Chains A and B, each alone.
Chain A
Amino acid sequence: MRGSNGNAFFKGKKPLPAENPAPGAAEKYTLGTGMIQVLMTLAALLFAAPVFIILNYSFKTVRELYLSNPLALPESFQLGNYISAFKKLDLLTTFTNTFIYTAVTVVVLVMLCGASSWAIARCKNRFFKFSYIYFLLGIFIPHQALFLQIYMIGFRTGLINTRLGVILMYIATGMSFGVFLMTSFMTTVPVELEEAAKIDGCSVYRTYFFIVLPLLKPAIATLTILQAFQIWNDYLMASLFISSQELRTLTLAMQMLFSQQSSDYTTAMAAIIISVLPVAILFISMQKYFVKGMTVGALKG
């Protein structure tokens, strides 16, 4: 209860930087603006073209793919590729798994990164400064080159082929960026509010959960989107930790379709569309917060 009060109080006092009227917004729609509009439309068409081409391919048959003009529309909108992708990818299982890994990792990661960053921002002694730099080190470590070691640590700890193992690994590799992002946000969290809470007798944990975390919404949205699409698309970590069919992710199921000798391109195209859709929807639905989050991050980063 106290938390939500605090939140309301804060909201009234100091609004977060919104998508405020940009300098241009006040300006009129001039000839110059019209030209920009045309140029942007052209650029957008170029950017969207590959996506449309995949979509177009995803309805073609193998014969059409090779024998007809690549630019032509499919002869009929048959859904065979989607059905075969659905079967080949074992979609029900892989989709659920990928969703669980992504959702749990993001939730836990947000909590942990928020907690670490807050502590780092508030306690300015040597240890916390050191841990900030220490976390940042992770940004420079290419984990592709460490795959045997990561696997062996997973094995020693008994986490291979478990959901928990995959999730913990994602958290471990996502910490660096998360702390980097969240720490830059902490300047937007006013210390006064926390001090007021402290005087009221709030513990550090209570303050974190009910006062600090709600203020971090834009940062949370940003981190959520950025991490979600990375985990959703990850191949390497999943392939290290998972071998059983029931635990497979979407990308693991997809990899056969993209191997060197692969020829089942039409199914692959349908699979791409299926796999991109959820993250695209996530982005579109969280866009508002995301851009806000980016605003603060970019300014204070």
Chain B
Amino acid sequence: MTRMLIGGLMIMALIGTSLAWGAPRKTTVTILAGLSSTDDGMQEIITKAVAAKYPGITLQWEALGWSDNFHPKMQQYIQTGLPDIIVGKAQDVATYGGQGLLADLKGKKYLTRVLDAAIPGVTIKGKTYGLVYNCLYQGVYYNRKIFAENGLKVPITHAELAKVIGTLKAKGITPFATHMVDTWSIGNMTMQFAINDVFSKTPTWGDQFRAGKVSFATSAAYKKCYEYNKLLFDNTWSRETFSLPQADCDARMVQGLAAMKVSGSWSIQNFMNVDPNFDFGVFPFPNQTGDAKLIFEPNMTWMKSARTKHSAQVDQVFDVLTSDKKAAIAFLNLTKTSSMLKGVSPTFPNPSQKDIDKYAAAGKLIDANSGNNQLQWGGFQDENAKDIASWLQGTMTLKQALEAADSRRAISKP
């Protein structure tokens, strides 16, 4: 027992000394990073790049999953003070920017190195709160080989999509790969549909919704978006989809078990992990009017705390981010995403790039924030997704699901 006591005291002493370590000698810039799993590992690239140019800055990372853990952590920090830098998604600017928590980056030199298209999504009332670093493309990813072998053309209207589905089914190929065990994928797909069918027509739909002028239950367009989920559900492995996680679904897509997947660039890393030679393209999910645009989502966004004590150092970090092209390319190659910096392109082979270029050249791109800045994700869109899942599972009617969204009107504002 005495030995245990002494052991305990020794351990205490150990903590004492270890508490004394780590007194910063250089300037330590703290970063809270809400990451997708595809981003994990990027910290090393950024740390190295910053250390090369500004050896006086030490970055202290706190990395966690964006979807599960980022928001709770932000809630904590809001009570007590934010870290110097916050890395999140462009849509977080809408959530946190309006509360005076973030610093305005307007007029900074590094902001001029970012594509102009990325600025409006992170600008609120004339103040720019975020530095968008990369972007994702969302739409229907398809297996080029299957399309070529069956003489299929990229569908533009719903009639054409129905034909594609019909042909695939006749050949015994599952038309859509889906994974619905994680309801966020339902939420993501529904938002993709809504961007082209609702928000591209009525950009202020969310504001009108909150003003009581429109509603889910009475909007024919939004009802259609809900119904597309059913179309997918009826044309996928519906028995398994509610058990299937994303990575497994992507692997099945690569194996040719399904021809299409409503998804985003986050699947590319999975595709390539399983088969580096998988040939795929992307097209926008057809909308009612046949003029759907490919969705681009300004993704990883760097924000600066309004009350940081190391304002100059944060600016230096942002300077490195936008000026070190080698680091930027390494980052894009790791995450398999596209750049939001001027004159920077990733060098990994991306079979869907030619499609992206085609839509970009035709001006057929639309920002995902057109929807995300109208309807809050956490607590609203993800709850709607649960309603849709319940409807697909038969425990709720479509009408009830739409009305449930209306009942959450009060918390729909980002």
Contacts A63-B274, A67-B274 known; A107 to B76 CB distance under 8 Å? no
A195 part of interface (Cβ distance < 8 Å):
no
Q: Complex: how many Å from CA A255 to CA B35?
A: 11
* Structural contact, A148 and B79, CB atoms closer than 8 A: yes
Tell me, yes or no, whether A104 is within 8 Å of chain B by CB.
yes
Do the beta carbons of A263 and B250 come within 8 Å of each other?
Answer: yes
Q: Is the CB of B60 within 8 A of A62?
A: no
Q: State A155–B80 Cα separation when bound (angstroms).
A: 7
Tell me the minimal C-beta distance from A37 to chain B in angstroms: 36
Interface string of B58-91 (1 = CB under 8 A from A): 0011111101110011011001100100000000
For the complex, is B38 an interface residue (Cβ under 8 Å from A)? yes
Partner of A62, one of B5, B15, B274: B274
Q: With CB as the reference atom, state the residue of chain B lying closest to A150.
A: B76
Tell me if A107 and B246 are in contact (CB < 8 A).
no
Contact indicator per residue, chain B 247-274, by CB within 8 Å of chain A (1) or not (0): 1101100110000000000100110011
Instruction: Give B83's nearest chain A residue, CB to CB.
Output: A243
* B273 touching A245, Cβ below 8 Å: no
Given A111-B8, A243-B30, check contact A261 B18 (CB 8 Å): no
Q: Indicate whether A151 sits within 8 Å of B35 (C-beta atoms), given known contacts A104-B12, A107-B11, A256-B65.
A: no
Classify the interface of chain B: helix, strand, loop or mixed. helix
Given contacts A108-B8, A162-B19, A260-B65, contact A209 B1 (CB under 8 A): yes
| Least CB distance, A243 to chain B, in whole angstroms | 4
Cβ of B14 under 8 Å from chain A:
yes
| A260 CB contact (under 8 Å) in B32, B60, B61, B182 | B182
Q: How far is the CB of B43 from chain A (nearest CB, A)?
A: 9
The answer to the question of B362 belonging to the interface, with a C-beta cut-off of 8 Å to chain A, is no
The answer to whether B36 touches A261, judged by C-beta atoms less than 8 angstroms apart, is yes
Residue of B nearest to A215 (CB): B1
Total count of chain B residues near the partner, CB < 8 A: 54
Contact of B62 among A62, A67, A210, A245 (CB under 8 A): A245
Cβ of A262 within 8 Å of any chain B Cβ, yes or no, is yes
Nearest A residue to B28, CB-CB: A244
Q: Is the CB of B65 within 8 A of A67?
A: no
Is chain A's binding surface mostly helix, strand, loop or mixed? helix
A278 smallest CB distance to B (angstroms):
16
Whether A259 lies near B65 (C-beta < 8 A) is yes
Residues of B within 8 A of A226 (CB): none
CA distance A67 to B250 in the complex (A): 12
Contact A263 B60 (CB under 8 A): no
Q: Closest residue to B273 on the A side, CB-wise?
A: A62
Q: Tell me if B107 is interfacial: C-beta within 8 Å of chain A.
A: no
A107 and B7: CB pair below 8 A? yes
Q: State A254–B35 Cα separation when bound (angstroms).
A: 14
A168 to chain B, nearest CB (A): 11
A-B contact pairs, 5 of them (CB 8 A): A66-B251, A107-B11, A148-B76, A259-B68, A263-B246
Give me the interface of B with A, judged by CB distance under 8 Å.
1-2, 4-5, 7-8, 11-12, 14-15, 18-19, 21-22, 30, 32, 35-38, 40-41, 60-65, 67-69, 72-73, 75-76, 79-80, 83, 182, 184, 245-248, 250-251, 254-255, 266, 269-270, 273-275
Given known contacts A164-B15, A261-B182, what 8 new A-B pairs fall within 8 Å (CB)? A3-B1, A104-B12, A107-B8, A246-B22, A259-B65, A261-B36, A263-B247, A264-B40
